[in-house]
């Protein structure tokens, strides 16, 4: 007997038929003798419908009240899911985030989980209930309803698995696992049976949509065994996210590169001709952080003339806001020559723990792109990742040639 | 400065425009210096939509999970209402039933309020917030979400007014007050400036749809000053529900009859030829109560032959269930000759505290109906009410002639 947390996204609960099919799947696990906690998202489209409703009143809804409104999406789904399980003869009980309770900080719309009280759920599981929990939501210490932000249901699943010390957290999606890259762009892309937690984290943060970055971080922090599966196929083992230690023995056999991620959602902000003095980075990025704008890549290049060029990337939606802040509050103070933006970019990243023990991966990547005539605008690396920013129109060809160059289509 | 609880029904929050108009009205009271607690229902049609959604899974949803689903209706409205108030520049804060918390018993779908913790609301009011509370819902001692049943938002409003010791509870509806009878049936029906609490209670329980019976009971129990107003008119004092003591002085001037209520929702269950022995009523009604079927009128008539006929009324929807229970479990045991049902009936009631001090009201009512050729099937009386059951097709003419006979069109 195992304790399994299963998370189902919006498409898996899109209508009554889908919910019935979900209940059938959950029931099969229950019949094998497992204890099951199900985490569900809102029915697909529902969160957007609720946001649109709020925006009929005001384009900038108060975050506390917006959370009150949008959190009803998952609340409906947990009730529906319990009804479907009960209809099949199972004992089932639903919990909102507040009822669990999933304690978060007070950042409405992107709250972070602080603690989960697993006591009531454990009691229900011991009594044979299937427990159904609303993803994406929690409450702060004052009892205000909070939401975790888009994709937060994955995080709820992993956090519950950690709190309940579950044997496995299964994330059901509309794909049957983690692929070497998006099969819509590279038809030869291959499903991975396993991927290390660190690789998954890099892939997620570099743009792979399969798992939300924070849920992977959470899984790593609490060593939650995570598996990505298809909610539309009955067979298949999906992709298991492992911890590197588990697979250390056969590390030498690991492929150099596990996957290629990409992202069209970023834009570049460039500050040219800044006198190169200490504290420049903080003077530039401080006001950006104060405005709650997330920054991804940051690059500073010292020039020959005692000035420096400073470039960073933000979400496309926030480029003009970032530019306005820099022009209004920063440019004069740091004596920057020019501030400009470019949202015609894409980021392509190769990820793999294998690159730790192999030199030459970066140069192979750069050569491959160069042979295709693709100019690299920015480079950022971590121990197991190399990310480049290129012109947006070259994104798909870049992914294809890299997939081929690193022989990802063969296991 | 007064503390006012205002309750708005589903048509007052049917869409963004209506919610904006509600916010304007609330704001005008706030600007006069009052402290305001707003209670809102779900947007009209929303509760039915949510029930239909649940019924796509199962025709008989589990009551706990159904409450989880339908309670989202008001949760959306409180958020929307706060956004509209904030848009006008007011401080506003929403509360679900669980957040208040409105503690109820565990009867999902028709829970009763046990206690209300007014502490957080009072703090908010003192800080200048308009407090917006979800009607119709609460939670039990274990934190399960409960609903109060249809019309429960009125009860929420009155209960909040009682808990907060509000100066007045204003119920905004689509009519501008309580009428002598339904103006759709008697165009001469007249709005009452005042009505006593006991009369209102009888009118509500006899079928007047203006206020929900339980909310009137609550108002009586806690002496909450209740006023019914139109949410679509800016002028008008509506109808004030008073306590009889307040108007004792001019009691002699009170009209004999205040209003006429009617109800097409009941059906008759008749048990014929029961041996007249002690305990018969319990043997008949015990199993009906066990099946959670509400019984309204009960009449027992001793016959000449040592048998008795027993008749009671239930909601039309429950007649066949009641008949099945009696035929299966009761008929043989009590040796009843026949059990039959009749859902072709209506109940018409005249209500007025004036009838306490005047004889002859009942006979005037019976004579009026008799002159119209309307046969009376059942009679039930209280100190301030006379109700008769007649054939359904005579309901509207009966209401019209009674309205005229008791001169209700003139003040």
Whole-number Å distance between alpha carbons of B263 and B277: 33
Alpha-carbon torsion B67, B72, B77, B82, what sign?
positive
pLDDT of res. A203: 87
DSSP B213-275: HHHHHHHHHHT--EEEEESS-SS---EEEE-GGGG-TTGGGS-S--EEEEE--EEEEEEEEEE
Q: pLDDT at residue B16 above 60?
A: yes
Chain A positions in Cβ-Cβ contact with residue B18 (cut-off 8 Å):
none
CB atoms within 10 A of CB B375: 10
State the nearest Cα–Cα gap between A81 and chain B, in angstroms: 9
Q: For chain B, how many residues are written?
A: 411
Tell me if A54 and B98 make a contact (CB, 8 A cut-off): no
Q: pLDDT at residue B58 above 60?
A: yes
* pLDDT tens per residue, range A282-336: 889 889 988 888 888 888 877 767 788 889 999 999 999 999 999 999 999 999 9
Chain A positions in Cβ-Cβ contact with residue B50 (cut-off 8 Å):
76
Whole-number Å distance between alpha carbons of B340 and B327: 9
Are A376 and A389 in contact by the 8 Å Cβ rule? The answer is yes
Q: Please state the domain count of chain B.
A: 1
Cβ-defined contacts of A248-251 (< 8 Å, 24+): A251/A353, A251/A357
Q: Which residue does chain B place closest to A79, by CA atoms?
A: B65
The CATH number that applies at residue A91 is 3.40.1160.10
Residue A315 lies in a domain: no
Q: Is A99 on the interface with B (CB under 8 A)?
A: yes
Eight-class DSSP state of B329: I
* CB nearest A79 (choices: B68, B96, B99): B68
pLDDT of res. B208: 76
Whole-number Å distance between alpha carbons of A34 and A279: 56
Count CB pairs under 8 A between chains A and B.
Answer: 111
Whole-number Å distance between alpha carbons of B330 and B286: 10
pLDDT of res. A234: 74
Tokens of A62: 């108060």
**pLDDT confidence of B369, banded at 50, 70, 90?**
very high
* CB nearest A65 (choices: B20, B83, B143): B83
Does residue A121 have a cis peptide bond before it, meaning omega lies within 30 degrees of 0?
Answer: no
Helices (H), B13-151: 16-31, 46-57, 63-70, 72-87, 97-100, 119-126
Chain B positions in Cβ-Cβ contact with residue A106 (cut-off 8 Å):
none
**pLDDT confidence of B121, banded at 50, 70, 90?**
very high
Residue B171 lies in a domain: yes
pLDDT of res. A363: 85
Query: Among A93-97, B112-116, B292-296, where is mean pLDDT lowest?
Result: B292-296
Chain B positions in Cβ-Cβ contact with residue A53 (cut-off 8 Å):
16, 76, 80
pLDDT of res. B234: 74
Alpha-carbon torsion A29, A35, A40, A43, what sign?
positive
The burial of B14, by beta-carbon neighbours within 10 Å (0-12 exposed, 13-18 middle, 19 or more buried), is given as middle
Alpha-carbon torsion B29, B31, B34, B36, what sign?
positive
Mean pLDDT along residues A396-410: 93
Tell me if A87 and B50 make a contact (CB, 8 A cut-off): no
Q: How far is CA B386 from CA A214, B206, B252, B313, B381, in A?
A: 68, 10, 20, 16, 4
* Tokens 């978060």 belong to residue: A104
**Higher-confidence residue: A163 or A276?**
A163
pLDDT of res. B251: 47
Whole-number Å distance between alpha carbons of B261 and B29: 33
* CB nearest A69 (choices: B56, B71, B76): B76
| 3-class state of residue A246 by DSSP | helix
Q: Which residue does chain A place closest to B56, by CA atoms?
A: A16
pLDDT of res. B248: 45
Task: Pick from A247-256, A265-274, B279-288 the range whose average pLDDT is largest.
Answer: A265-274
**pLDDT confidence of B207, banded at 50, 70, 90?**
confident
**What burial letters (b/e) apply to A49-76, b meaning 16+ CB within 10 Å?**
ebeebbebbbeebbbbbbbbbbbbbbbb
Whole-number Å distance between alpha carbons of A168 and B90: 48
Q: pLDDT at residue B246 above 70?
A: no
Are A126 and A187 in contact by the 8 Å Cβ rule? The answer is no
State the nearest Cα–Cα gap between A288 and chain B, in angstroms: 27
CB atoms within 10 A of CB A315: 17
Based on its alpha-carbon atoms, the radius of gyration of chain B, rounded to whole angstroms, reads 23
Residue B81 lies in a domain: yes
Parent domain of B218: 3-248
Eight-class DSSP state of A253: G
Q: Which residue does chain B place closest to A73, by CA atoms?
A: B72
State the nearest Cα–Cα gap between A411 and chain B, in angstroms: 43
CA A347 to chain centre: 16
Task: Pick from A144-158, B206-220, B234-248 the range whose average pLDDT is largest.
Answer: A144-158
What stretch of H or E contains A269?
strand A266-275
Whole-number Å distance between alpha carbons of A368 and A374: 9
Mean pLDDT value across chain A: 90
Residue B82 lies in a domain: yes
Are B326 and B339 in contact by the 8 Å Cβ rule? The answer is yes
Mean pLDDT along residues B343-366: 87
Q: pLDDT at residue A257 above 80?
A: yes
* pLDDT tens per residue, range A28-50: 999 999 999 999 999 999 999 99
Question: Strand pairing partners for A312?
Answer: A269, A298
Residue A381 lies in a domain: no
Are A267 and A319 in contact by the 8 Å Cβ rule? The answer is yes
pLDDT of res. A150: 67
* CB nearest A78 (choices: B20, B68, B99): B68
The burial of A19, by beta-carbon neighbours within 10 Å (0-12 exposed, 13-18 middle, 19 or more buried), is given as buried
Q: Is A26 on the interface with B (CB under 8 A)?
A: no
Tell me if A69 and B75 make a contact (CB, 8 A cut-off): yes
* pLDDT tens per residue, range A110-147: 899 999 999 999 999 999 999 999 999 999 999 999 99
Tell me if B56 and A87 make a contact (CB, 8 A cut-off): no
Whole-number Å distance between alpha carbons of B344 and B322: 16
**pLDDT confidence of A349, banded at 50, 70, 90?**
very high
* pLDDT tens per residue, range B373-389: 998 888 888 888 899 99
Whole-number Å distance between alpha carbons of B98 and A321: 39
Are A98 and A143 in contact by the 8 Å Cβ rule? The answer is yes
Residue B206: closest CA among B266, B285, B251, B165: B266
Tokens of B152: 């429960």
- Rounded to two decimals, the ipTM of the complex is 0.78
Tell me if B57 and A99 make a contact (CB, 8 A cut-off): no
Q: Is A65 on the interface with B (CB under 8 A)?
A: yes
Q: pLDDT at residue A231 above 90?
A: no
Q: pLDDT at residue A249 above 50?
A: no
Are A180 and A409 in contact by the 8 Å Cβ rule? The answer is yes
Chain B positions in Cβ-Cβ contact with residue A84 (cut-off 8 Å):
57-58
Tell me if B83 and A71 make a contact (CB, 8 A cut-off): no
Q: pLDDT at residue A51 above 50?
A: yes
Chain A positions in Cβ-Cβ contact with residue B71 (cut-off 8 Å):
75
Q: pLDDT at residue B254 above 60?
A: no
Tell me if B54 and A98 make a contact (CB, 8 A cut-off): no
Chain B positions in Cβ-Cβ contact with residue A76 (cut-off 8 Å):
50, 53, 69, 72
Query: Among A153-162, A228-237, A344-353, where is mean pLDDT lowest?
Result: A228-237
Whole-number Å distance between alpha carbons of A229 and A216: 15
CB atoms within 10 A of CB B3: 16
pLDDT of res. A12: 92
Tell me if B19 and A68 make a contact (CB, 8 A cut-off): no
Residue A159 lies in a domain: yes
Q: Is A86 on the interface with B (CB under 8 A)?
A: yes
pLDDT of res. B306: 79
Tell me if A75 and B86 make a contact (CB, 8 A cut-off): no
Whole-number Å distance between alpha carbons of A317 and A266: 8
Helix B63-70 with B46-57: angle, nearest 10 deg: 140
Beta strands A113-116 and A385-391 are unpaired
Q: Is B94 on the interface with A (CB under 8 A)?
A: yes
Which residues have CB under 8 Å from A45's CB, separation 6+? A10, A14
* CB nearest A72 (choices: B75, B82, B98): B75
Whole-number Å distance between alpha carbons of A295 and A251: 33
DSSP A82-115: HHHHHHTT--EEEE-HHHHTEEE-S-TTS--EEE
Q: Is A234 on the interface with B (CB under 8 A)?
A: no
| 3-class state of residue B154 by DSSP | helix
* Tokens 């400009």 belong to residue: A340
Q: For chain A, how many residues are written?
A: 411
Tokens of B174: 């689509």
**pLDDT confidence of B150, banded at 50, 70, 90?**
low
pLDDT of res. B18: 95
Q: pLDDT at residue A246 above 80?
A: no
Question: Strand pairing partners for A385?
Answer: A351, A382
Cβ-defined contacts of A274-279 (< 8 Å, 24+): A274/A307, A274/A308, A274/A309, A274/A310, A274/A334, A274/A335, A274/A336, A274/A337, A275/A306, A275/A307, A275/A308, A275/A334, A275/A335, A276/A302, A276/A303, A276/A306, A276/A307, A276/A308
Which residues have CB under 8 Å from B200's CB, separation 6+? B178, B211, B216, B226, B241
Residue A329 lies in a domain: no
pLDDT of res. B243: 80
Tell me if B66 and A82 make a contact (CB, 8 A cut-off): no
Q: Is B146 on the interface with A (CB under 8 A)?
A: no
Are A107 and A56 in contact by the 8 Å Cβ rule? The answer is no
Mean pLDDT along residues B254-268: 87
**pLDDT confidence of A159, banded at 50, 70, 90?**
very high
**pLDDT confidence of A209, banded at 50, 70, 90?**
confident
Chain A positions in Cβ-Cβ contact with residue B58 (cut-off 8 Å):
83-84, 86-87
Q: Is A75 on the interface with B (CB under 8 A)?
A: yes
Residue B395 lies in a domain: no
């Amino acid at each position: 007997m195992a304790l399994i947390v299963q998370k189902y996204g919006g498409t898996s609960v899109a209508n009554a038929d889908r919910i019935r099919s979900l209940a059938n799947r959950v029931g099969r696990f229950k019949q094998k003798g497992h204890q099951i906690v199900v985490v569900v998202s809102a029915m697909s489209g529902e969160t957007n419908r609720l946001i649109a409703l709020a925006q009929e009143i005001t384009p900038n809804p108060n975050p506390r009240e917006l959370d009150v409104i949008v959190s009803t999406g998952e609340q409906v789904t947990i009730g529906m899911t319990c009804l479907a399980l009960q209809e099949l003869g199972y004992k089932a009980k639903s919990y909102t985030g507040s009822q669990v309770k999933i304690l978060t900080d007070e950042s409405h719309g992107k709250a972070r989980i602080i603690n989960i009280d697993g006591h009531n759920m454990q009691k229900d599981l011991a009594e044979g209930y299937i427990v159904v929990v609303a993803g994406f939501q929690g409450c702060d210490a004052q009892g205000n309803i909070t939401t975790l932000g888009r994709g937060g249901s994955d995080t709820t699943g992993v956090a519950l698995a950690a709190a309940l010390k579950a044997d496995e957290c299964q994330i059901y999606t509309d794909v049957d696992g983690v692929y070497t890259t998006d099969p819509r762009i590279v038809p030869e892309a291959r499903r991975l049976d396993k991927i290390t937690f660190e690789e998954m984290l890099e892939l997620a943060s570099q743009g792979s949509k399969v798992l939300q970055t924070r849920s992977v971080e959470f899984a790593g922090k609490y060593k939650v065994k995570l598996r990505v599966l298809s909610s539309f196929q009955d067979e298949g083992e999906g992709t298991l996210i492992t911890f590197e230690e588990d697979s250390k023995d056969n590390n030498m056999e690991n492929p150099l590169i596990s996957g290629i991620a990409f992202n069209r959602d970023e834009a570049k902000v460039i500050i040219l001709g800044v006198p190169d003095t200490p504290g420049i980075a903080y003077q530039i990025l401080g006001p950006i952080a104060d405005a709650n704008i997330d920054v991804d890549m940051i690059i500073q290049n010292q020039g020959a003339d005692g000035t420096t060029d400073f470039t960073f990337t933000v979400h496309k939606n926030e480029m003009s806001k970032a530019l306005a802040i820099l022009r209004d509050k920063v440019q004069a103070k740091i004596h920057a020559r020019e501030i400009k933006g470019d949202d015609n970019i894409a980021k392509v990243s190769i990820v793999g723990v294998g690159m730790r023990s192999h030199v030459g991966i970066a140069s192979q990547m750069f050569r491959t792109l160069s042979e295709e005539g693709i100019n690299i605008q920015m480079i950022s690396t971590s121990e197991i990742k190399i990310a480049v920013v290129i012109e947006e129109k070259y994104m798909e060809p870049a992914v294809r040639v890299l997939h081929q160059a690193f022989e990802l289509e063969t296991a």
